[in-house]
Amino acid sequence: MIQDLLGSIASTQAYRRFAAEKTSRTVLYLFFLSLLFTIGGSIAMQLRVGPVVDETFAWLGAEVPALTFSAGKVTSADAAPKRLTHPKAPEVAVMIDTARTEPVTVQVMRDARVLAYLTNNSLVIDQNGKLETYDLSKAALERPVVVDAKFFREASGALKKVVYPLAILTVFVFAAAWTAFAGLLYALLAMLLQSIGGGVMTFGALYQIAIHAQTTALLVRVVLSFLPFIMPFSGLLTILITSAYLWLAVKANAAAAAETSAI
């Protein structure tokens, strides 16, 4: 697979071999390429998202008063209302008022300027102007649950153990599916290029070439994911790079076919 990877990037002659290789090898290369994308994307996600997650849970552990969930109610040693605002996202604000038993209205949420409101017996969340109320009195807990700094430290660790592996699997499946689907579109483009540059390859051979032609563009996308900003027109850049490789591959195979017919 490493040889195929290097050939896909640096050798137009390698595309003559790709056009004639077995379908199973192309599928294997598709998975290999998706794995590389997943590894790079996962590292970038860890570097960019990981610190934000750690900071958020550290902020929650420091700012949220110790809460006890028991018998369908929430209690706290600090009964005074407390409004929490995320230090890096001021629009994300939560009100904690464990002494309140009255229903929370839209006006109350607007006056408090919060997205969520926790009371003695309910959790209210503002979803685009519509309030969703969760009645905590209906929650049947076998034993009291204490939410404090220790709870948030453990929650942060659990999130990494569960969400990150799930995210990696999701990225791999998406990368494989998208690369396979994009291969169909690029194969159609290759047919058009072939009609211009000459060649007699079948759609299957063009599809195999299209899978390999996406290599450089996918690796560029991985590199761009490490940047601290979003690269404008990165999608267009991907299409241009892949199209250039397709054109070179079609020309290489057309030249090979011409040489063969001349013999």
Per-residue pLDDT of 123-173, as tens digits, reads 889 887 788 888 887 776 678 888 888 888 888 888 877 877 888 888 899
pLDDT digits (tens, 9 = 90+) for 240-258: 999 998 888 888 877 766 6
- Strand ordering across the sheet containing 116-118: 82-86, 89-96, 116-118, 122-127, 130-135
135, 122 contact by CB (below 8 A): yes
Q: Label residue 185 by pLDDT band (50, 70, 90).
A: very high
- Sequence spans of domains, the chain: 2-51+160-262, 65-147
The predicted structure's pLDDT at residue 261: 55
Q: Predicted confidence band at 259 (pLDDT cuts at 50, 70, 90)?
A: low
* 3-state SS string for the chain: CHHHHHHHHHCCCHHHHHHHCCHHHHHHHHHHHHHHHHHHHHHHHHHHHHHHHHHHHHHHHHHCCCEEEECCEEEECCCCCEEEEECCEEEEEEEECCCCCCCCCHHHHHHHCCCEEECCCEEEEEECCEEEEEEHHHCCCCCCEEECHHHHHHHHHHHHHHHHHHHHHHHHHHHHHHHHHHHHHHHHHHHHHHHHHCCCCCHHHHHHHHHHHCHHHHHHHHHHCCCCCCCCCHHHHHHHHHHHHHHHHHHHHHHHHHHHHHC
Residue 253 and residue 77: Cα distance in Å, rounded?
76
0.85 cut: is pTM over it?
Answer: no
Mean pLDDT along residues 43-53: 80
CA 166/CA 91 separation, integer angstroms: 28
Phi, psi angle pair for 68, to nearest 5°: -120, 120
Per-residue pLDDT at 260 exceeds 80: no
Give the pLDDT confidence score for residue 184 in this predicted structure.
92
End-to-end alpha-carbon separation of the chain, Å?
32
Task: Identify whether the C-beta of residue 64 lies closer than 8 Å to the C-beta of residue 151.
Answer: no
- What is the model's pLDDT at position 211? 93
Please state the φ and ψ torsions of residue 11, each to the nearest 5 degrees: -135, 115
